[in-house]
Each structure stands twice: as structure tokens, then as C-alpha cells.
Amino acid sequence: MQTYFTALLLTIAVEFVVYYVFIRSKPLKSLLYSCIINGLTHPIAFYFYSEYSIAYDLNNNFNIYFLIIEIVVFLAEIFPVKILLKVNLQNAVIIAFTANLITAVMSFIF
């Protein structure tokens, strides 16, 4: 359980920084939005990845399930980013992609 909360807090922190870098205002709102968005997507993604890792005895971080789950999370976060950060669709895609790319890369480091 500690692994989950560590991963969640790191994800929230990293995505908060990405949101703040892109919109350059309202740091508390950016943090709140990061908590909301990741509160919706992170538990589901973590659950599915954990289930597939156990079921298929996956020992490494990168595999097809990791890639599929990351793509689904990226797609799921586009519209919440657009609505909450009040950016256009193109910027929402860029922000969501950047945030998820960084957190995906970090999952290999930690």
C-alpha cells in the first residue's frame, strides 16, 4: 500500500509542475487540479497494471499492458485538463501527453 501512495504522490507532484509550467498562474489551483485528475485516473490505472502484472507474471516495468494503460490514461486526462485548466484542445493534448510521458519515464527510475 505504501508503494501505491508513494506513486500517487509523485504523480500528483510531477503533473502539478507540468500544469504550472504550461499555464504559469494559480499554483494552488494547479495542485488541486492535479489531485482531482490523478485521483480519478491513477487508482484505476494502478489497479489494472497490478492485476495484469500478477496474472501474467510480468517482472519488468515496460510491457504491452503498461503501454496500453498509459495511453488510456493519457486519453482520459485530455478533457479534464482542457476543462479544468481552461486551455484549448491542442494545448490540453500537449499538457496531458507531457505530464504522462514524464510520469511514465519516472516509473522506470523508481
- Quick: pLDDT tens for 67-102: 899 999 999 999 999 999 999 999 999 999 999 999
Closest by Cα among 33, 41, 27, 24 to 76:
41
What does the domain layout of the chain look like in residue ranges? 2-109
CB count within 10 Å of CB 98 equals 16
Q: Which amino acid is at 62?
A: F
pLDDT for residue 61 is more than 60: no
Mind listing the pLDDT tens digit for each residue in 32-59?
A: 999 999 999 999 998 888 887 665 555 5
| Reported pTM | 0.87
pLDDT at residue 45, as a whole number: 92
Which pairs count as long-range contacts for 32-36, CB under 8 Å and 24+ apart, including other chains? 33/80, 33/81, 33/84, 33/85, 36/80, 36/84
Give percent helix, percent strand, percent coil of the chain, each to the nearest 5. 85, 0, 15
pLDDT for residue 62 is more than 80: no
